[in-house]
Amino acid sequence: MKRVLGILVVMILVLSVFAGPNHLVIFHMNDTHGHVWGTEDGGGFARAATLINQAREEVAKEGGAVLFLHAGDVNTGIPESDQLDAVPDFLALHYMGLDAMVLGNHEFDKPFEVLEKQYEVAQFPFLGANFVDEKRGGPVFEPYVIKDYGDFSVGIIGLVTEQTKVLEPIYLGENTIVNAEETLKKYLPIVQEKADVVIVLAHLGYHADGGRPNLSVEFTTSDELAENVPGVDIIIDGHSHTLLETPVVINNVIVAQAGENAENIGRIDLWIDDGRIVDWRGEVIPLKSDIPEDPFIKMFTDAFYQLGSEALNEVVGVTKVYLDGERAHVRSDETNLSNLIADGMIWKTGADVALMNGGGIRAPIEAGEITYRDILTVLPFGNTLYVLELTGKDIMDVLNYAATIPDGQGAKLHVAGLTAEMKGGKATNVKINGKPIDLNKTYKVVTNNYVAAGGDGYTMLEGKPGYDTYFRDADALREYIAHLGTIEDYTSEERLIELDQVK
């Protein structure tokens, strides 16, 4: 008997020596922005769930594991989600078995109490090592999480974009976002002690191919992080909505990002032997319509979709022309929809001038009946109209900043009641309601509470005298469209005439 036991022990030892590497599959999504529900063309969480569950079954047979991560910006984009504070999104991700997410800048679109509610609903870690309480200096949520898979462990450090301080400053309160690279250097040795594989789950943005935003804050990008900080194995990124069809390798760091709006899911397969990655492959999988939807995820998310649909489908007006709110267009040029929105802000408040940021316009409106759903899709953030008392000089400060903003940025300015020529990073020939601007005169200016609080870099407005009307921007647009009735046509005239292009 002892001889048999001895042989078995030897066999086990031999098998352990020749056992193959451990297989870990990482699924990742980012910038889903309320797109829980797919369409006939594909996309959506239920299709993603099908692929994740299939992989769990397959990998489990070989003793491997699946890790599911979200790189931030769950919030804001689809009315059915926005009205319910993204509860459908976080519940779906919970039931899909999400292991962790990093906070995106749009997680700060609403009061902090909403984020706390989302955390309770989600029941998975919200990571943000550099999202800190200014008073006590420590992270507000978890800085990192360790996943133990027996033969190996994985450490995941969450990093939030410093751009949040400009893009979504209103609800940060006594919290702030500190330097991502310095924070990573602080936590990396701690996590390396506890884990074999180190992943940075980042909402920073990938800009190795150019197009770096011009903002009034220093910020870190994922490609910079890979270049500057040794010791990281993988960066799962978000924020720039970049579709890296296969991950890129920078300074031996695998960098991945999967586009936007739950149109795709990223997959990275790792083979880990003795605590080291010995092989890997990565891809982004389009969530095409031929991928079946997971019945459970579809069932309960469809139930959420029905909530409030009757009100969302209310017809408020008709347009005979396409109202252009395409992301690329409103971040580079004035369009008929941006002019319509700005004009409606003046109509609602009686202001002299309206200021609207292009990043606040999130969708176009097709020709035909206009529903409240359409309007909430265009203006999903729940911002309110904010009236400021600005001198002509104050307005010039705004315009001179706007003249420095290159195409493609959410800070691109749209106006009503005002015209100007933009050249060489300066505004000239400025007129308000057809008259030359008076630098000493005080004007009534309406914007949204986001911009009024210094959002998108308009810090010169922060603290200026004024008041919140508490009119939601979407409701003001709905009333203005109802007032117009049928839109036969609408002007796309340039009100801020670019005499040269800022590059």
| pLDDT above 70 for 8 | no
**pLDDT for 236:** 99
Enter the pTM of the model: 0.81
CATH 3.60.21.10 residue spans of the chain? 22-307
| Residue 19 confidence class, pLDDT cut points 50, 70, 90 | low
| Burial class, 289, CB count within 10 angstroms (exposed 0-12 / middle 13-18 / buried 19+) | middle
| Residue 502 confidence class, pLDDT cut points 50, 70, 90 | very low
- DSSP-derived secondary structure for 85-137: TTHHHHHHHHHTT--EEEPPGGGGSS-HHHHHHHHHHH-S-EE-TTEEETTT-
Place of tokens 């990571």: 127
Phi, psi angle pair for 266, to nearest 5°: -85, 150
CATH 3.90.780.10 residue spans of the chain? 313-498
| Class of CATH domain 22-307 | alpha beta
Q: pLDDT (tens digit, 9 = 90+) per residue, 293-325?
A: 999 999 999 999 988 777 788 899 999 999 999
Is domain 313-498 annotated with CATH 3.40.50.2000? no
User: Among residues of the chain, what percentage have pLDDT more than 90?
Assistant: 84
Alpha carbon distance, N-terminus to C-terminus of the chain: 81
| pLDDT above 60 for 282 | yes
